[in-house]
Amino acid sequence: MPSICFYFQVHQPCRLRHYTFFDIGQEHHYEDDEHNGEILNKVAEKCYLPANAVLLDLLNKYRGDFRIAFSLSGVALDQFEQFNPAVLDSFKRLADTGCVEFLNETYHHSLAFIFSAPEFREQVELHRQRIFKLFGQKATTFRNTELIYSDAIAREVEDLGYKTILAEGADRILGWRSPNSVYRPEGCRTLKLLLKNYRLSDDIAFRFSNREWSEFPLTAAKFARWVHQLDNAGDTINLFMDYETFGEHQWEETGIFDFLRLIPAHILADPHFQFLTPAQVAQKSKPAASLSVPEFMSWADVERDLTAWMGNDMQNDALRSVYDLESKVRARNRKDLFHTWRRLQTSDHFYYMCTKWFADGDVHKYFNPYSSPYDAYINYMNVLTDFAEQLES
């Protein structure tokens, strides 16, 4: 019996305020609270609150036959608590149904694994504790920031006690294999790997409102037919996407909420299909094979690698600079300095510095507070210079 595995990523970065060279040594508050609150509340009204209301109705209606999973970054959770507690309450109501799995990730949506294994482990533990405190779940499934994945990450995640990990079903890794099978990461003993079916996922996340698309309009009935045609193509069809797909990336006027309301009924019309969470998929399915991913991959851009964050000298200089401060932050051992340093690790800061403006240009401009990648770099480095001076003082 094939399963449908819906997983939604929820993240909003804490954007930096305009910080000039003349602010260094004078002003130590770095985040644009007003702008961050405006964006958070805008997305809450367009996406989080209405989408959660739709999902709560579906979860109550289908009573276990419809299940979903979320990963909520710690940075997003902090902003829900600060700017719109109603959003956090709505996620708690979803958790109360018993049909939602909450995943773990790095608390600060960072690239910590690439630069500091100890910092990676600490951020994962912070997130594990926060999810348990909020939703009462001890997560067994892990997803790294932006689905950044490799064999080395899988081995580390297994050592941390997780049973399941998510990754992108990139063609260059899979070759002839199917993303609809469960795999064993190379070098792991018990961890199971679930891969995103990016074609079907992106039909919803990116192509849904594209009138130039040959399959426009995408209805729930049509999508269910595509899914049902994969009856014998594997154990699970993993539909992974940003939660902001619903109402923000795809506006309400496109019919995206109607699609969401109708999709469970059309999928479940075929009794061979069921909805499961990532943990449930891993529990019921044996690995089809071992899969080796020696180099990092992600779900970002057409290349699905790390170039969205580490593709130019500005990005690499900024990343090296912030992680070079680790020993000094740890030596000071002050909670406020750890908090600031970790907020400065959020991957979005480096995403704004990306100079890949071809196929993925519109994606990189989304809620980008800077007029150019160079402006993003200068602003970030001004902030980092002031923070470094604080560590020395």
In a domain, 54, yes or no: yes
Q: Which residue has the tokens 């069809």?
A: 237
Domain that holds residue 64: 3-291
10 Å Cβ neighbour count for 172? 11
Indicate whether 49 and 149 sit together in one domain: yes
8 Å CB contact between 150 and 294:
yes
In a domain, 299, yes or no: no
Indicate whether 133 and 107 sit together in one domain: yes
pLDDT for res 366? 60
Q: What is the arithmetic mean of pLDDT over 227-233?
A: 89
Indicate whether 123 and 245 sit together in one domain: yes
Residues with catalytic roles: 146
Using DSSP, state whether 347 is helix, strand or coil: coil
pLDDT for res 363? 52
Mean pLDDT (the chain) is 95
In a domain, 298, yes or no: no
Indicate whether 200 and 258 sit together in one domain: yes
pLDDT tens digits for range 31-74: 999 999 999 999 999 999 999 999 999 999 999 999 999 999 99
Identify each DSSP E strand in 28-161 by its residue range.
68-72, 100-102, 141-142
Q: Is residue 1 pLDDT above 80, yes or no?
A: no
In a domain, 377, yes or no: yes
pLDDT for res 358? 44
Indicate whether 214 and 353 sit together in one domain: no
In a domain, 300, yes or no: no
Indicate whether 7 and 121 sit together in one domain: yes
In a domain, 301, yes or no: no
pLDDT tens digits for range 351-376: 999 998 644 445 556 678 999 999 99
Residue 359's Cβ-count burial label (10 Å; 0-12, 13-18, 19+) is exposed
Q: What are phi and psi of 238, to 5 degrees?
A: -95, 110
Angle at 19 between CA 13 and CA 25, to 5 degrees: 120
Q: How many helices (H) and strands (E) does the chain have?
A: 19, 10
8 Å CB contact between 346 and 14:
yes
Indicate whether 134 and 188 sit together in one domain: yes
Domain count, the chain: 2
Rg over alpha carbons for the chain, rounded to the nearest Å, is: 21
Indicate whether 260 and 131 sit together in one domain: yes
